[in-house]
Every structure is written in C-alpha cells, then in structure tokens.
A and B are shown apart, each in its own frame.
Chain A
Amino acid sequence: MNIVQGRFSPSRKQKRAAFFFLLPSMVILILFVFWPILNSLWLSFHHWSLLDATHPYVGLDNYRKLVHDGRFWNAADKTLYFTLGSVPLGIVLSLGLALLANEPLRGMGAFKAVYFLPVLTSFAIISIIWSFLLDPDIGLLSYWFKELGLPSNDWLRSTTWAMPAVIMVAIWKNVGFNMVILLAGLQSISPSLYEAARMDGAGPLQRFWRITLPSLRQTLLFVVIISVIGSFQVFDQVYVMTRGGPLNSTETIVYYIYHQGFELLDMGYASAIAWMLFVVVLLITLLQLKLFRFNDID
C-alpha cells in the first residue's frame, strides 16, 4: 500500500528502480550537456585557440575583451531587436489563431494542421526556401511584389530589411507551436465561467479580458519565457539566410559565438560570450517569473 491519503511515497525498491530508469538519460545529460557546460566555463578563463598546443590561463581577460568589443555589443543589440520584433508579435498572432482554432467551426482540423506544419519542418529547410522566395532578383515574392506594383527591396541583401525578413520567417515558423500550447490552455478553461459571465451580461470583449486572459496567465508565461529564451539563442535561420550579414546587421549573439569559436577557432573567447549570454538569459527569465507572480497577487 504505497498510496495513502492520495499521496505517493515510493518504497526503497521503487526508488532504486527509478534510479536505474533515470540512469541512462542522466549519463547522456552529464556527458553531453552538464560536463560541456562546466567545461566551457573553464575554457572561458583561458586563451584557448583550437590551433594552439598550449592554452594559458588568462583570468578574466576574455570577459574584459568582451566589454570593449564593439561587435559583441552589435550582436547584443541585434539579438534584442530580434527578440522585441519576434516575441510580442508572434504571441499576439498565435493567441489570435488559438482563439480562432478554439471555435467549433468546420475544417478546424485542417486549419490547425496548416499552421502547425512549419513547426515540423527543419529551420534549415525553411530558411533555404525563404531565401529563395526573398531573393530580390529571381525570388517569387519579389516577383509578386513587382507584378502587383508594390515597392520591393533587397530583403536579405539590405542592411535595413534583412532583420525584419529574418524576424518574419521566425514568426511564421513558430506561430503554430505557440498556437497549440495556447489552444490547450484555452480548452482547459471551464465553460461554466463563460456561462456565468454571459448570464451576468458580459460581452465578448469583456469575457476575453476578464476570463480568457487571466485564466491563460500560466500558459502565456510559459510561452513568453520559451519564446524569449529561444530568440536570445536564435542561430539556425541567421546561419542559413544571412550568415549574420549584410554588414553584421543580422549577427546575433549565438552567431557571433559560432564565428569566434568555429570560424576563428577561439574557443576561450567564444565560451566567455556564451557565459555572458547564459547570465543574461537567466536574469531575464527570473525577471519574467517575478513580474508574472507579482500580477498573481492582485
């Protein structure tokens, strides 16, 4: 009798079984996640070029260099641009789609499938396709723009428009994922709340602001945090679509880490940037948790 008073208290045997069940994934996580993470902290205190035989300890030199590295701050700036451009708009759009998908209309299954399809496709492939579509000379999108008499531009070859194009593709790719999460949240709201509100004479807008949104707070928090973390770490579509260019106008922090670590082979400096990014993401996530909890109280 393990289940007493609805609470599960595992026996020693079960604990041991659980341990062995968890062991394989723990081994993988330790070998391929935790150990490399700690190792990169070690690297960040060294001058660690992959080409050099010796890797002298340099203390905080890599971090000092980072503070004065204009290109790092440019990358931080572009990452912020990407996040502010993609997260709020992406979440508003996916909330809209989730509300639509929650309506008991015909063909909703197909509707959901269409919006979820990009989520299942790899970012590399999506990025290649969009690069073709956006090509200013032979791209389909540019052609349509021209045929319709709309002003077009150089998209990925323009220092002004490359980032908006990358943001647009990221939103298009992620909107389905967020939609599904938010939809699950919407469906867990008890219909009795809406019935009661209707009886009290609340209109659709009031129902949305007073019932839907507050009930979705936990789901929204999850979606916001996941999206923010994801966009701080954006890499794939930058790598495939623009390689950080033109003129570093789409070079995000993770792309800059890649450039330093795997193109210039300076693993020490790349690790220092990675740890800087980790600290920033951690702080922002804590801040978000705090903000949302604060709202919970009132």
Chain B
Amino acid sequence: MASKPWIATSASLLAASLLLAACGGNGQNDQNSQSANSSQSQAPSGKSDDGKAVRLTFWNGFTGPDRPGYENLVKQFNDTHPNIQVTMDVSPWDTLLAKLPTSLATGQGPDIAAFDSSLITKYAKSQLILPLDDLYGNGIDPGIFPQPLANVMKYEGKFFGVPANNATLLLYYNKDLFKAAGLDPEKPPATWDEWIDAIEKTTKSDGSDKQYGIALADHATIAMWPILVWGNGGDFVSTDGKTATMTDPKTVEAIKRWSDLVVGKGASPTNLTGAEADKLFQSGKAAMEMNGPWATAGYTDAGLNYDVAPIPAGPAGEVTLASSAVLVAGKNTKHIDAVREFMQYWVSKDAQAQLSGETGFPPVRTDLGDDERLKQNPFVPKFAAESNNAKYYLPGLEQYDKIDADVIIPAIQAITNQKSSAEDALAQANKQLQDILDGND
C-alpha cells in the first residue's frame, strides 16, 4: 500500500501551494478585493502611461437613501472623463473608519475617501491624507463655500478636504399630532418657550397610547443635545479648542432644563439611538425630531403628514448643527492630478445643482442662486437657509470621537438615567475632557 501515502503527500502539497498562491494574490490586490459591493466591475489598478484610463478608488459610507445621487455623479464623471475611471466602494461608516487608517498606514487604501469633516484633524496630523492647497489655489475658490464649511476643511491653515455634502438640522414635526394636541400645524414653534409648550402638549406619558413630544437621540446619532446647549449660549469646548466648558453655567442650565423635560415629563425616551428616534417619528409615536435633509425621502414615502422648520430659537438665538462629509486624498495615491480633477468636478456648479436636487442636501456652494434643479426638492431651500446659523460639533479636535463617545454621551446618559445630578456628572466630564484636551489621557 505504498502508493496511498504518496498520493496523499502530493495532494496536500498541491492544496498547500494553492493556499499560498491565494494568500499572495490577496495581498497584492487588497485594494480591489475589498470592494465586494462596489458599483462597478473591478479591474487591477491601471497605469496612465500606457494610454489606458487612470483608475481611482473612492471609499465612502453613503449607504443611505442619498446613495443613488452620489452614484449618478460618479457615473457622469466617468462618462465625461474617459481618461479617469472612478470606482466607488460603499460600506457602512463604522466599517469604513475601522479599515481606512490601517490600509492607508500600510501603503494601501483608496485614492479618495469620504468621511465626516471632524476627522480631518486626526488624519491630517497623522499624515494619512494629502494637503490640497494646490487645488484651492488653482481650480477651487474657497469663497464659493459657506465660511464655516470652508473653515472645517482646514488643518493648521492648510486645506485637506473638499466638501462632499453639506447638511443642517431642522425641526421635523408631525402635523397630525400637532392638530390632535390643539396646536396650529401651519405655525411651528419659533422660540424655546413655544417649543417646550408644544412638546408638553404632544407628550402623553400615561395611558395605553404612549406618545412622545420629541424623539431626542443621545448616542449613535447625529448630534442633537449639543444644539440645545448652544441654544442656551453654552458649549462643551472653548472656541480655541483648549479649555473644557462643560461646567459653564449656561451649559449646565441647558442640560438641566432639557433633562428635566425628558426625565420629569417623559417628553422623550432616554438612551435613544438616531435610528430609534427616526422610527418613533416615522411611526407617529413622537411629534417632533431634529434631523437632517437625508430623512425627508423616507418620511415622505411612509406617507407621514409632516413639515420642517428652523430649530426654535433659544435664549442665545437661532442655532443648529452643521455636518458635512468631506472628500480627502489618500496619502498613497499615485494619481493626485486625477484626484484633483475629480474633486473639482464634484463641487462644480452643474454637479452640485444635480446632487442637491437628487439628495435633498443643500449644495456646498452658495452661488447657485435659483437653479431650477434645486427646486426639484422643496426641502432644499429650507435646509440651505439655515447654513448661517449652523455650527460644527467639536470642530478641529483631534480626539473628536473619544470626546463624544467617552465623555459627552456618558455624561448626558448619566443625567437622563438619574445616576448622577447634572452638576456632578458635568463636573466629572469636564475634568475628563480637560485631560484629553491637555493630552494627559
């Protein structure tokens, strides 16, 4: 029976060599093999010098209802630029952000990536993305962007990103629930007093038909509590980003006032995620919600009778959250000129008018005027009108995600879960935050 071991040996050798070959192949084509759900068929990254088109990879997290808008834009770019072919690789934001730094640091990663503007500081400081000052000097005039938006594209005075989109938050309110509570559905609240009154009137905390005045998400969400803090004139960090201000009397007062409403009056469930808040509003269990332009499509499809209005003005005036995704150039790109061309196309008048009409986001430019395509979506002007009152959350801070996840969210939850008084929780958080800002963490 001597032949059997021999066959076995060669069989396993074969298997081993196949395996090793597979491993090697994966390593070389990592950039391409990861794009399982890319919008186009894959080809190995080509070179420009042999006359073929330059191939760019573009990683982003546009998984929402606005996705087709971005896909159309990329497709149009590819159709009009035969020398450059951009391939989108869309994955959820948290997946994208877990793999992006590693792949960039190991010499791979995409030519272009999109992520929240708050991450520019971290990536620019670690030199994982390339400065784009050349592009701004020659091709893009930063004056076309709203001033606050242009500011968050910078790190240490240099531009590192081009705005991919631009969002503000508005107050969504359910007209039917307003009517049922004896409120005028055509006259949304304009001040905090009117707002709190409307919240109290639309809250039904006992009985079998529970209903919330507002769905106020505190984690896994676009920032909502910060808008309330700003409305009262408070903040979390000083404008220079060096001092924690969570014990500022105005910050404390704002958080106390709203947590009293949430805990004492049952105006909103506690420990709510953004997705849960959306569900509550969409199912008519919450009368109001603060949300961005991406939500209109879903609510309209669901047949909800709703409208949007500016966030009611607090004691410190009208304010809302600004949020924007940015396009950045990966440090390993070999085609920086093609990357620049793509970015320039993205913020061009035509592209922005079309994107805005399709996604419902305000355009990133302020000079589109009355372009007909913007009117495709009646909500666009309303979101765009708030750009001047809109603030970025924790702008320019390297430890943005740590501050949000480990300091601010736990502090608010400790208060709304009644584990701690507002004063104690904020004092402790302030100390923690100052440590992070000082680099002592």
Q: What chain B residues lie within 8 Å of A50 (beta carbons)?
A: 101-102, 105
| With A16-B9, A263-B401 as contacts: A247 and B105 at CB distance below 8 Å | no
CA distance A60 to B361 in the complex (A): 49
Pick the contact of B417: A24, A31, A247, A259 (CB < 8 A): A247
- Residue from A20, A27, A248, A259 with most neighbouring chain B CB atoms (10 Å): A20
**A159 CB within 8 Å of chain B:** yes
Residues of chain A lying within 8 A (CB to CB) of residue B269: 136-137, 154, 157
Residues of B within 8 A of A27 (CB): 16, 19-20
User: Does chain B have a CB within 8 A of A46?
Assistant: no
Contact B9 A263 (CB under 8 A): no
Instruction: Flag whether A262 is at the interface (Cβ < 8 A).
Output: yes
Known: A137-B210, A157-B272. A262 touches B219 (CB 8 A): no
Q: Is there an interface contact between A243 and B123, defined as CB atoms closer than 8 Å?
A: no
* Known pairs A23-B16, A27-B20, A263-B94; A247 contacts B413 (CB<8 A): yes
Contact of A24 with B12 in the complex, beta carbons under 8 Å: yes
| Complex Cα spacing A31 to B20, Å | 11
Residue of B nearest to A21 (CB): B12
> Is there contact, CB below 8 Å, between B105 and A53?
yes
A243 touching B5, Cβ below 8 Å = no
| Residues in A whose Cβ lies below 8 Å from that of B126 | 51-53
Q: How far is the CA of A263 from the CA of B410 in the complex (A)?
A: 16
Q: In the complex, how many angstroms separate the beta carbon of B292 from the nearest chain A beta carbon?
A: 21
Check A13 for interface membership: any CB of B closer than 8 A. Answer: yes
Chain A nearest CB: distance from B131 CB in Å? 16
**Is A51 in contact with B8, judged by CB distance below 8 angstroms?**
no
Distance (whole angstroms) from the CB of B266 to the closest CB of chain A = 11
Q: Mask for B410-423, Cβ within 8 A of A = 1, else 0? A: 10011001010000
Give the contacting residue for B285; candidates A31, A137, A263; CB below 8 A: A137
Tell me, rounded to whole Å, the shortest Cβ–Cβ distance linking B362 to chain A: 30
CA distance A228 to B372 in the complex (A): 64
Q: Which residue in chain A gives the minimum CB-CB distance to B9? A: A20
Q: Are B405 and A263 in contact (CB under 8 A)?
A: yes
Asked if B23 is at the interface of the complex by the 8 Å CB criterion, the answer is yes
* Contact across chains for B401 and A51 when beta carbons are under 8 A apart: no
- A138-155 interface (Cβ within 8 A of B): 138, 146, 154
B19 with A138: CB separation less than 8 A: no
Residues of B within 8 Å of A247, CB to CB, are: 271, 410, 413-414, 417, 419
Whether the pair A137, B283 counts as a contact (CB closer than 8 A) is yes
Contact of B270 with A51 in the complex, beta carbons under 8 Å: no
Q: How many A-B residue pairs have CB under 8 A?
A: 99
Chain B nearest Cβ from A239, distance in angstroms: 10
CB neighbours of A53 from chain B (8 A) = 105, 126-127
Tell me if A159 and B279 are in contact (CB < 8 A): no
Interface string of B306-328 (1 = CB under 8 A from A): 00000000000000000000000
Establish whether residues B9 and A262, one from each chain, have CB atoms under 8 Å apart when the complex forms: no
Residues of B with C-beta under 8 A to A264: 401-402, 405-406
Q: What sequence of 0s and 1s flags, for each residue 41-53 of chain A, a beta carbon within 8 Å of any chain B beta carbon?
A: 0000000001111
B-chain residues with CB within 8 Å of residue A17 when the two chains form the complex: 4-5, 8-9, 12
Name A14's contact: one of B5, B23, B102, B413 (CB within 8 Å).
Answer: B5
B265 interface hit (Cβ, 8 Å):
no
Residue of A nearest to B128 (CB): A51
Q: Let me know if B208 is at the binding interface, CB within 8 A.
A: yes
CB distance from B212 to the nearest CB of A (A): 8
Q: Quick check: A20 and B270 within 8 Å, CB to CB?
A: no
A277 interfacial by beta-carbon distance below 8 Å: no
Interface string of B114-158 (1 = CB under 8 A from A): 000000001101111000000000000000000000000000000
Minimum C-beta distance from B398 to chain A (A):
9
For the complex, is A118 an interface residue (Cβ under 8 Å from B)? no
Q: Which residue of A lies closest to B405 (CB)?
A: A263
CB of B280 within 8 Å of the partner chain: yes
The yes or no answer to A164 lying at the interface (CB within 8 A) is: no
Minimal beta-carbon separation of B302 from chain A (angstroms): 13
With a cutoff of 8 Å between Cβ atoms, the chain A residues found around residue B101 in the complex are 50-51, 265
Q: Which residue of A lies closest to B125 (CB)?
A: A51
B233 vs chain A, min Cβ distance (A): 27
Rounded to whole Å, the gap between the CB of B434 and the closest CB of chain A is 17
**For the complex, is A185 an interface residue (Cβ under 8 Å from B)?**
no
Taking a contact as CB atoms under 8 Å apart, the answer to whether B98 and A262 are in contact is yes
Q: Is B13 an interface residue (CB 8 A)?
A: yes
Question: Does B385 make an interface contact (CB < 8 A)?
Answer: no
Tell me if B180 is interfacial: C-beta within 8 Å of chain A.
no
- Residue A85 lies at the interface, judged by CB distance under 8 Å to chain B: no
Contacts of B15 in A (CB 8 A): 24
A146 touches B208 (CB 8 A): yes
- Find A20's partner among B13, B23, B276 (CB 8 Å cutoff): B13
Query: Chain B contacts of A52 at CB under 8 A?
Result: 126
| B13: A residues at CB distance < 8 A | 20, 23
Q: Let me know if A16 and B128 touch, CB within 8 A.
A: no
Cα distance, A20 to B271, chains bound together (Å): 55
Q: Contact: A24 with B16, CB < 8 Å?
A: yes
In the assembled complex, A28 has its CB within 8 A of some CB on chain B: yes
Tell me the complex Cα distance, A21–B271, Å.
Answer: 53
> Could you tell me if A138 and B285 are in contact, using CB atoms closer than 8 angstroms?
yes
Q: How far is the CA of A270 from the CA of B2 in the complex (A)?
A: 52
Query: Which residues of chain B from 409 to 441 have any CB-CB distance to chain A below 8 Å in the complex?
Result: 410, 413-414, 417, 419
Does B36 sit within 8 A of A, measured CB to CB?
no
Q: Which residues of B contact A158 (CB under 8 A)?
A: 271
Interface residues of A in 83-134 (CB under 8 A from B): none
CB distance from B422 to the nearest CB of A (A): 15
Smallest Cβ distance from B105 to chain A, in angstroms? 6
Interface residues of B in 254-280 (CB under 8 A from A): 269-273, 276, 279-280
Residues of A within 8 A of B297 (CB): none
A24 to B17, CA, bound (A): 9
**Whole-angstrom CA separation of A157 from B220 in the bound complex:** 13
Could you say which residues of chain A place their CB within 8 Å of the CB of B12?
17, 20-21, 23-24
Q: Which residues of B contact A (CB under 8 A)?
A: 2, 4-5, 8-9, 12-13, 15-16, 19-20, 23, 94, 98, 101-102, 105, 122-123, 125-128, 208, 210, 219-220, 269-273, 276, 279-280, 283, 285, 401-402, 405-406, 410, 413-414, 417, 419
What are 27 pairs between A and B in contact, CB < 8 Å?
Answer: A13-B5, A16-B5, A17-B4, A17-B8, A17-B9, A20-B9, A20-B13, A20-B16, A71-B406, A137-B210, A137-B285, A138-B283, A138-B285, A146-B208, A154-B270, A157-B269, A243-B219, A243-B220, A245-B219, A245-B271, A246-B219, A246-B417, A247-B410, A259-B405, A264-B402, A264-B405, A264-B406
Nearest 4 pairs between A and B by C-beta? Answer: A246-B271, A20-B12, A17-B5, A51-B126
